Amino acid sequence: MPDDPPVPENPRAAELKALLAEIARNEPGFFRSLVADVFKTPFGYRWEDHPGVTIGKDVRIHPAARIELGSRSKLTIGDGSSIGPMAVLRPKDFHMIIGPNCSVNDYTMLYDNLVLGRGVRIGAHSLIIPENHTFATRAKYIYEQPCEFKGVVFEDDVWVGSNVVVLDGVRVGKGAILAAGCVVTRDVPPYTIVGGVPARVIKERPL
């Protein structure tokens, strides 16, 4: 089949792109602050000004990270932690705690009632959402039934590979490793390596 004909670019969009490219070249500091404002204020709450936010020392938050806060949200990020580009932090009505020396890498999404201990490393494109739909009856659509919020806890020194999914109610023990691509549906014992769908213990870490 022949390719679809190219869609002509809107002249105003092309003009705006050229203007932004010129600003990026000539005023890089201003351009970075402009991008930061766009990504940090999706719902009208700048995280720097939010009363529920506590940021430690030497924390690095990429300008393209999204921190989405409601009026009742609380967020604590400990000393020396970093949040990568396009990562999403969305505490909603809960207190999300990211301990010291943690790293949340690119495109990872963290939601709700989540606690990360000291030195937790989370690979890119991972998804941790401490929330579940309930489906107790067929008489109602799933979206009409309440959600559960049990919470997720990562103890200290946990390494999470890329593309990992952790479901609600899970506790990940100290020193555990979650292999890339696994789906964690139940608690992970300390110092174990888990992988697969659903994740199962592969072996223990060496002493």
Catalytic residues, which ones? 133
CB proximity list for 135: less than 8 A, separation 6 or greater: 142, 145
* Dist. CA 138–CA 136, nearest whole Å: 7
Q: For the chain, how many residues are written?
A: 207
* Dist. CA 155–CA 36, nearest whole Å: 31
Structure tokens at 148: 């559960």
Task: Return the SS3 of 36.
Answer: helix
Q: In what order do the strands lie in the sheet with 183-184?
A: 66-69, 88-92, 109-111, 127-128, 165-166, 183-184
